[in-house]
Structure 1
Amino acid sequence: MRFVQPFRDPEIIRAIKKDLLKQGRLRDYAMFELGINTGLRISDILQLRKRDLKSRELYLTEIKTGKQKTFQMNPTVRRELLSLLKDWDDDDYIVKSREGVNKPITRNMAYKIIRRLGEEYNVRNVGTHSLRKTYGYFFYHQDKDIGMLQKIFNHSDPSFTLRYIGIIQDTMNEATRSFRV
Structure 2
Amino acid sequence: MNFVQPIRDLEKISEVRTYLADKNKRDELLFCFGIYTGLRISDILTVKVQDVYGKDYFYVVEQKTKRAKQRSKKYTVRKRIPIVTKLKKLITNYCEGLRMSDYLFKSRQGKNRPITRVRAYDILRNAAQHCGLKEIGTHTLRKTFGYLVYHENDKDVALLQDIFNHSAPYITLKYIGVNQDAIDEAYSALNDLKI
Q: TM-score, normalised by structure 1?
A: 0.89
Aligned-CA RMSD value? 1.7
Are 2:62 and 1:52 aligned?
Answer: no
Amino acid at match of 2:8: R
Q: Quick check: 1:5–1:133 contact (8 Å CA) kept in 2?
A: yes
Sort the Cα spacing of 1:169 and 1:118 in 2 relative to 1 into closer, same or farther, 3 A: farther
Map of 1:122 onto structure 2: 132
Of all paired residues, the percent bearing the same amino acid is 43
Sort the Cα spacing of 1:115 and 1:172 in 2 relative to 1 into closer, same or farther, 3 A: farther
Are 2:130 and 1:81 aligned?
Answer: no
Q: Deviations over 1:29-49 (max 9, x none)?
A: 111010011000000000011
Gaps spanning 5+ residues in structure 2: where?
67-76, 186-195
Amino acid at match of 2:114: P
Are 2:131 and 1:131 aligned?
Answer: no
Map of 1:35 onto structure 2: 34
Map of 2:161 onto structure 1: 150
Map of 1:65 onto structure 2: 65
Sort the Cα spacing of 1:145 and 1:173 in 2 relative to 1 into closer, same or farther, 3 A: closer
Amino acid at match of 1:79: K
Post-superposition offset of 1:100 = 3.6
Equivalent residue runs for 1:141-180 within 5 Å: 141-143=151-153, 144-168=155-179, 171=182
**Distance in 1 (alpha carbons) for counterparts of 2:132 and 2:22:** 19
Q: Deviations over 1:116-164 (max 9, x none)?
A: 1211111110100000000000100100211011100000011110110
Aligned residues: 173
Q: Deviations over 1:31-69 (max 9, x none)?
A: 101001100000000001111113222111111111421
Post-superposition offset of 1:173 = 9.8
Q: Quick check: 1:20–1:29 contact (8 Å CA) kept in 2?
A: yes
**Distance in 2 (alpha carbons) for counterparts of 1:16 and 1:119:** 10
**Distance in 1 (alpha carbons) for counterparts of 2:93 and 2:99:** 13
Q: Which has the larger radius of gyration?
A: 2
Report the 3-state secondary structure (helix = DSSP H, G, I; strand = E; otherwise coil) of the residue aligned with 1:167.
coil
Post-superposition offset of 1:170 = 5.2
Q: Deviations over 1:67-113 (max 9, x none)?
A: 42112121231122212221111111111111141100111111111
Q: TM-score, normalised by structure 2?
A: 0.83
Sort the Cα spacing of 1:115 and 1:169 in 2 relative to 1 into closer, same or farther, 3 A: farther
Which consecutive aligned stretches of 4+ in structure 1 deviate over 2 angstroms post-superposition? Answer: 168-174
